Structure 1
Amino acid sequence: MPTVLVPLLLTFDQILKLWALETLSPVPKPLLGDLLYLTLVKNTGAGFGLLQGKASLLGWLSLLVGAALLYLLAQKRYAPLFTLALSLIAAGALGNGIDRLGRGWVVDYLDLGTPIPLLANFPVFNLADVYVTLGALLLLFAPRRRKRAF
């Protein structure tokens, strides 16, 4: 599964980023009412404004994490949910790593426009970030090993 899933996820992430670069601007454009906007942001750091200007360092770190996860996935078979979680994180890390090393910044375009206090100032993000977040959440619930049949 990861041999097919990671490249598919990575390709979809990169296609959406190219679309965002061609279509969007820094001016927010409503997608789901006041809940979600499309806003082009060139992020030279990590989430929440951390490590601005450190794209190269973050890019190599992202590629290292993605490659390490691909290596783990290739070594043995894990439970399906665990495999999905690692695949999502690998694709997200590789997607943002490619941006950082190729462009010098990450293409972000998903902008929460909600007035909910905790989310009101949430940073603009992208599909690769969603992959990493979903993968991390799945890791909390995923069994690592496959159940053996008796």
Structure 2
Amino acid sequence: MLSAMLILFAVLLGTDVLLKERVEEELNPGEERKLPGGKVIIRKVYNRGFLLNLFDGRPAIVRGMSLFAGGGVLLWDCLTFARKRNYVRKLGMTFVSAGAASNLFDRLARGKVVDYIGLQTEKKFLRNITGNLGDLYLACGSALVMAGELLFAIFHGDKTKK
């Protein structure tokens, strides 16, 4: 099980890192390319802060908090994978870890995160948001972790009660 999750982690991380590299090489800031269907847009946007550029003018804080959060994810991985069962939680943590590692790598190597996925929608707020696969991994992984916790509680109950 662990080896399958490590392979999945490597594939997810590698895919996002390679796509970021390709966007860096092929697109100019502000340039947009629509994917077939027209709903997904590829564009190059730099995020020096957190979500929605929070703290973008404070790089030392952003870097320190990113390292701290990355350490927390690593610790949670160790605790999660040391336990038996709860494969949904483990799958979720694999996605969370890949997203966190990709964005942390970007932040440490470039000093910023390369975002490249936008949506063509009527809602201006959503249209102005640009993310990357790592962000999607974090969102999907978090949902899987929560689902895993819920399923574990339903099927295994609280073993501390007597």
Q: TM-score, normalised by structure 2?
A: 0.78
Q: In structure 1, give the amino acid aligned to 2:68.
A: L
Say which one has the larger Rg: 2
Question: How far, CA to CA, are the matches of 1:23 and 1:83 in structure 2?
Answer: 35
**1:103 maps to which residue?**
110
Deviation at 1:8, TM superposition (A): 2.1
> Structure 2: 5+ residue runs without aligned partners?
157-162
Question: Does the 8 A contact of 1:111 with 1:125 survive in 2?
Answer: yes
Question: Does the 8 A contact of 1:42 with 1:107 survive in 2?
Answer: yes
**1:44 maps to which residue?**
48
1:29-69 superposed Cα distances (whole Å, 9 cap, x missing partner): 11144421111011101111212143422431342133223
Deviation at 1:7, TM superposition (A): 2.1
- The residue matched to 2:79 in structure 1 has which SS? helix
- Whether 2:39 is the aligned partner of 1:35: answer yes
> Structure 1: 5+ residue runs without aligned partners?
none
Change in 2 beyond 3 A, CA 1:78/1:37? same
Change in 2 beyond 3 A, CA 1:63/1:140? closer
Q: TM-score, normalised by structure 1?
A: 0.84
1:43-97 superposed Cα distances (whole Å, 9 cap, x missing partner): 1011112121434224313421332233224312332221111111111111101
Q: In structure 2, give the amino acid aligned to 1:15.
A: L
Question: How far, CA to CA, are the matches of 1:119 and 1:18 in structure 2?
Answer: 24
Question: How far, CA to CA, are the matches of 1:133 and 1:11 in structure 2?
Answer: 18
Q: Please point out which of 122, 130, 141 is paired with 1:124.
A: 130
Give the length in aligned residue pairs: 146
Overall identity of the aligned pairs, in %: 28
Change in 2 beyond 3 A, CA 1:106/1:62? farther
Change in 2 beyond 3 A, CA 1:107/1:118? closer
Q: In structure 2, give the amino acid aligned to 1:113.
A: Q
